[in-house]
Structure 1
Amino acid sequence: MLNLGKKNILGILIDAVDYEAAISFVFECAGKNRGAMISALAVHGVMTGVLDPEHKFRLNGFDLLVPDGQPVRWVMNWLYGTEMRDRVYGPELMRRICERAASEGTSIYLYGSTKPVVTSLAESLTRMFPGINIVGAEPSAFRKLNPDEKVALQQRIQSSGASIVFVGLGCPRQEIFAYELRGSLSVPVLAVGAAFPLLAGVLPQAPPWMQRLGLEWLFRLLAEPRRLWRRYLYLNPAYLVLVTLQRFGLRHFSPQGRPPATEVLVG
């Protein structure tokens, strides 16, 4: 088990952990009915916090931010010598947690994406892990929730008896969701993004060799060019430049963000 604590990557505090440490933390929280915020961050997630001080504040308040992308893992090794051998990929993390949850009888709740996707996800997880206890599978509202709707959502999750909540809303909506439910749910909430459509089988996954080489972004860009071209055209090069500045001490990145001025739950 690897857990070297949080490391400052461009001002975002990423945890140098492996799958075993991340899963152990999730089930420890679930077993103790303790709320926690967990997210899997790739380059896009990191850069979203770098460019938005309010979102940086949210991210650095998370209990666990795991290195979802290979470029994030490589940079942790380059800057801090962590010698991490693998990333902690959101879809794979969710798959492993669901596998253990099924074997131990731990209940899960699915929130996010569209109704067809979240329905397909529940069916897919049931096929992969017979006996898995899915106590709720709810699609995103794709809009901000008013205070009454927020309370009702909290109550639905709490009353379901869920021990672990998975959120698939995309970055940064899912991190905002987890942040704004902090303190109101006594369960770990995991923001896992593309894990929902990938595990549901409705979004193609990059082949293993592209994942190993950190080229998953290229696979996704080719699959969804109109939606993703701006993200990868600007953010990936910016990430490389800023990381180089940090590595050679040419720029310091403070982890201090700015508390959000307003909190309206994004559902």
Structure 2
Amino acid sequence: MRVDGTSYQDATQRVILWAKAAESRYVCAANVHMVMEAYDQGEFARTVNNADLITPDGKPLVQALRALGLKGASQVRGPNLTLHICEAAAKEGVAIGLYGGTPESLSLFTTFLEKLYPGIKIVCQIAPPFRALTAAEDAAYTQQLVESEARIVFVGIGCPKQELWMAAHQGSLPAVMLGVGAAFDFHSGRVKQAPIWMQQAGLEWVFRLKSEPRRLWKRYAKHNPRFLLFFFTQWLTSLSERRWFEAAGHD
């Protein structure tokens, strides 16, 4: 699975430029969970790899990129990128839509953004039901987003649903779609984020596991050990190849 070397500034600039041109694009914020879902499901891997930008949301992915030679790799978390983009959108007058969460979380998040960035244009809020949508429901929500003239749509329905949703709606929405997971709940205060030191140390998953053990323990037990094993294998192969090139006199 592809993960791009980017930064908050670079990602924000790209999103704003695409949004102002009303281009239909989508951005994924990748963590270990997403990588392993892509490893297990070829169709999902293609969905993610077709994204216009894949940011290293999880610290382990940043460390992996650095180990593979991208020394300047930096973490670009979905919740943080959300705020960077909202700030820029408020300055540029770019309209924003919200898709996911609950009516309460969307209302709280909108109030939070309006206080933080006066003048921000939140033109659409959709809290779809927590089940598969009918074709009619999906068409109605899509039409609502189109008619709102939102040029940036934050999608918070969880991985892998949000990535599949964005890919399915590329071309239907004249907007940049960003999969931001729990960002609505984080910024509305409904769910606590890990302390910054845990985020920087790559221990955010420990905090989340402690907060939601019943929901997350199976995911982490399944994915984290395999990620370490597979990445270590990839790193050894990469190291061996670099040494071979150096011995052969190549740069």
TM-score of the pair, normalised by structure 2: 0.92
Query: Residue in 2 aligned with 1:9?
Result: none
Query: Residue in 2 aligned with 1:45?
Result: 34
Instruction: Specify which of 105, 109, 113 is matched with residue 121 of structure 1.
Output: 109
The one-letter code of the counterpart of 2:59 is Q
1:146 corresponds to 2:118 = no
**Separation in structure 2 between the aligned mates of residue 176 and residue 67 of structure 1, nearest angstrom:** 18
After TM superposition, list the pairs within 5 Å mapping 1:75-224 onto structure 2.
Answer: 75-79=64-68, 81-224=69-212
Query: Residue in 1 aligned with 2:54?
Result: 65
Does the aligned pair in 1 maintain the 2:151–2:175 contact within 8 Å? yes
* Gap runs ≥5 in structure 2: 239-251
1:19 corresponds to 2:11 = no
**Separation in structure 1 between the aligned mates of residue 136 and residue 72 of structure 2, nearest angstrom:** 44
**Separation in structure 1 between the aligned mates of residue 22 and residue 105 of structure 2, nearest angstrom:** 28
- Give CA-to-partner distance per residue, 1:206-230, whole Å, 9 cap, x none: 1111011000000000011111111
Does the aligned pair in 1 maintain the 2:126–2:141 contact within 8 Å? no
Aligned length: 238
1:245 corresponds to 2:233 = yes
Structure with higher RCO (Cα < 8 A, 6+ apart): 1
Question: How far apart are residue 85 of structure 1 and its match?
Answer: 5.0
Question: How far apart are residue 148 of structure 1 and its match?
Answer: 2.1
**Separation in structure 1 between the aligned mates of residue 169 and residue 131 of structure 2, nearest angstrom:** 16
Does the aligned pair in 2 maintain the 1:73–1:84 contact within 8 Å? no
Seq. identity, %: 40
**Separation in structure 2 between the aligned mates of residue 120 and residue 84 of structure 1, nearest angstrom:** 36
Divergent runs of 4+, >3 A? none
Structure with greater strand percent? 1
Root-mean-square deviation over aligned CA pairs: 1.2
Does the aligned pair in 1 maintain the 2:100–2:157 contact within 8 Å? yes
- Give CA-to-partner distance per residue, 1:131-153, whole Å, 9 cap, x none: 11100111122122222222222
Question: How far apart are residue 183 of structure 1 and its match?
Answer: 1.1
Any idea what SS the aligned residue of 1:190 has? Answer: strand
Question: How far apart are residue 86 of structure 1 and its match?
Answer: 2.5
Query: Residue in 2 aligned with 1:54?
Result: 43
**Separation in structure 2 between the aligned mates of residue 26 and residue 190 of structure 1, nearest angstrom:** 9
**Separation in structure 1 between the aligned mates of residue 97 and residue 154 of structure 2, nearest angstrom:** 6
Structure with greater helix percent? 2
**Separation in structure 2 between the aligned mates of residue 220 and residue 157 of structure 1, nearest angstrom:** 32
**Separation in structure 1 between the aligned mates of residue 17 and residue 174 of structure 2, nearest angstrom:** 12
Question: How far apart are residue 18 of structure 1 and its match?
Answer: 1.0
**Separation in structure 1 between the aligned mates of residue 112 and residue 65 of structure 2, nearest angstrom:** 34
* Gap runs ≥5 in structure 1: 1-11, 251-267
Does the aligned pair in 2 maintain the 1:18–1:84 contact within 8 Å? no
